[in-house]
Amino acid sequence: MNARFKALTLTMTLAGCTNFIPEYSRPELPVTNDWPVNQQGYEESSVTNWRSFVNNEELKMLIELSLENNKDLKEALLNIVKAEAQLGLQRASRYPSIGLEASSANQRLSENFTGADSSISRTQNLNIGLSSYEIDFWGRVYSLEQQALESYLATIEGRRNTQITLISNVIQAYLTLESDRRLLELAKETLISQQDSLKLTQTSFDNGVASGLDLAQAKSTVATSKVDVARFTSQVNVDINALNILVGTPIPDELLPTSDQGTRFGEVSVGLPSQVLLNRPDVLQAEYLLRAANANIGAARAAYFPTIALTTNGGLLSADLDDLFSGDSRSWIFTPTITLPIFDWGARERNSDIAATDQKIAVNNYERTIQIAFQEVADALSNQATFDDQIQGQQMLVDAYEESFRLSELRFNEGVDDYFSVLDSQRSYYSAQQTLITTELSAQLNTVTLYKVLGAGWNPDDVPVPLTEDMYLGFED
């Protein structure tokens, strides 16, 4: 028994030494080596974790709430737990399953069967052994294990990508709410101003100074402002609802932004494409899936070779329970099985073709993911390069219309111009203020987008991955 056990141990040790997984080589980046916008010679990306990027304490608390309660993130975390279990299940198939079996059989044999007196047969059995253990000479089980590992790592990167997207979405929703509250406050202030103007125009009309046209125009501007107040009030409520869904729980009022808050963010510098793109979680996820498809080819190739399986049991067998544990009750069975595929109507060839095609699809998906990532970063950089000029120019326009409105009111009060000039200047001033607010929002959203598309600042302590400490044991890098 010792000799057979040593031979079996040696066989299991040698199993898996051969595998047909193609040597993996990362595809070349299907993009240029430089961004289309000059980055002032940056060679490294300085994307910090989100706690350093966000300078607003209320917003930080909102993000932490979303990391605890968001349903999409919880689902992504559960997918990791599931993938880890699948990896452990595949890993377990590399080792034999050992079982213990005890049985007692009692049978009466009739006179008609024995041709004599009836008899009772009793068998007591206690066995321990392994059943149909596949010796992985050709690396089929090993290849499937590697495929499960790469799929598991891809799931982790998918969770990272979900978390980064969630953080950026919370920030963007917060900024949108802050901007809409600014627009609502501007609409309310404008409405008050235009109501005062309407009162003056009504008085002038009653005194025969202003015309009916002046009065009608003043009323129209008041009505327009009332519509804006109602519209932005509704939009603010919609923004709050959207933020509640992202956070996953009702948000305390003290954490919501005010109209005069002015949220700011840390600086973000951009490195070279080869440094930035290969660190994005969606790109890493696509590469792990590519490696998984590559490992699956090895399993498909191994199917062309014989499958060797072992079934063995050793234990005690006796007709009498009292003698079961005596030395003469020892028994064993050793059944090696070899299965050699001969003809299967091309099934193995088709499986091999499917595995090879899946690998090509994974390469295409990996390259497409990099191209999309490159475009996202390039677009954000292009926008960033012009927003300062847009805001500066729009602020100059606001100042100019403010002065025009002041002078037109002065000229109207002195009887130089009619009230139409006042209303026209007031509308232009109001519109310019709205555009400035939306332009500033666009600039902030673009900063957040740039932060996101650079891979954001991943912080593994936010939502720990439920990875067991020994999960990587037995795997190659």
pLDDT for 5: 45
Strand, helix or coil at 33?
coil
Q: How far is CA 83 from the centre of its chain?
A: 15
Amino acid 120: pLDDT = 73
Residue-level pLDDT, tens digit, the chain, 477 residues: 455 444 444 444 445 457 788 888 888 888 888 887 755 545 555 566 788 888 889 999 999 999 889 888 888 888 888 888 888 888 777 777 777 777 767 777 776 666 677 667 777 666 676 676 677 777 788 888 888 889 888 988 888 888 889 999 999 999 999 999 999 999 999 899 888 888 887 887 888 777 788 788 888 888 988 999 999 999 999 999 999 999 998 999 999 988 777 788 888 777 777 777 888 889 999 999 999 999 888 888 877 777 777 777 666 566 565 655 666 666 667 677 777 777 778 787 888 888 889 889 999 999 999 999 999 988 998 888 899 899 999 999 999 999 998 898 888 777 777 777 888 888 899 999 999 999 999 999 999 998 888 887 556 666 555 544 444 444 443
DSSP state of 210: S
Q: Where are the domains of the chain?
A: 15-92+141-307+350-453
How would you write 260-320 as a 3-class SS string?
CCCCCECCCCCCCHHHHHCCCHHHHHHHHHHHHHHHHHHHHHHCCCCEEEEEEEEEEEECC
Looking at the domain 15-92+141-307+350-453, which fold is it?
A: Outer membrane efflux proteins (OEP) (1.20.1600)
Q: Which tokens in the block code for residue 422?
A: 């006042």
Predicted confidence at residue 470, as pLDDT, reads 44
The confidence score (pLDDT) of residue 401 equals: 93
| Residue in the block written with tokens 């598309």 | 453
Cut 0.85: pTM above it? no
In the numeric block, the tokens 């008085």 are attached to 203
Residues in the chain: 477
